[in-house]
Amino acid sequence: MNRFFIYLIKRLYIKLDSALPSHESKNICGNCYKCCTAAARQKVSSLEEDYINHFLKEKGFPSSLMEEYEKFLSLRLNLYNSSARDILCPFYTKEKKNCFIYPVRPYSCRIYGNYAIAVEDLPEKCAYRKLVSLYNEKNLIKVIPCSEDYASIAALYKVYIKYLTFIGRLFYKS
The model's pLDDT over 49-65, given as tens digits with 9 standing for 90+, comes to 999 999 999 999 999 99
Cα atoms in the 13 Å half-sphere on the side-chain side of 38: 20
Q: Looking at the domain assignment, is residue 18 inside a domain?
A: no
pLDDT at residue 144 above 90? yes
C-alpha distances (whole Å) from 95 to each of 31, 126, 127 are 10, 19, 20
Number of helices (H), then strands (E), in the chain: 6, 4
70-124 pLDDT, tens digit per residue, is 988 887 776 566 666 678 899 999 888 889 999 999 999 999 889 999 998 888 8
Confidence of residue 152 (pLDDT cuts 50, 70, 90): very high
What string of DSSP letters covers 83-94? GGTTPBPTTEET
Looking at every residue in the chain, the average pLDDT score rounds to 88
Q: Looking at the domain assignment, is residue 42 inside a domain?
A: yes
Q: Looking at the domain assignment, is residue 124 inside a domain?
A: yes
CA gap 90, 37 in Å, rounded: 9
User: What confidence score (pLDDT) does residue 75 get?
Assistant: 79
Q: Looking at the domain assignment, is residue 22 inside a domain?
A: no
The sign of the torsion formed by the CA atoms of 6, 156, 38, 62 equals: negative
**Proportion of the chain above pLDDT 90, given as a percent:** 57
Q: Which residues form the domain of 55?
A: 3-13+32-171
Residues linked to residue 93 through DSSP beta bridges, in sequence order: 98
Q: Looking at the domain assignment, is residue 161 inside a domain?
A: yes
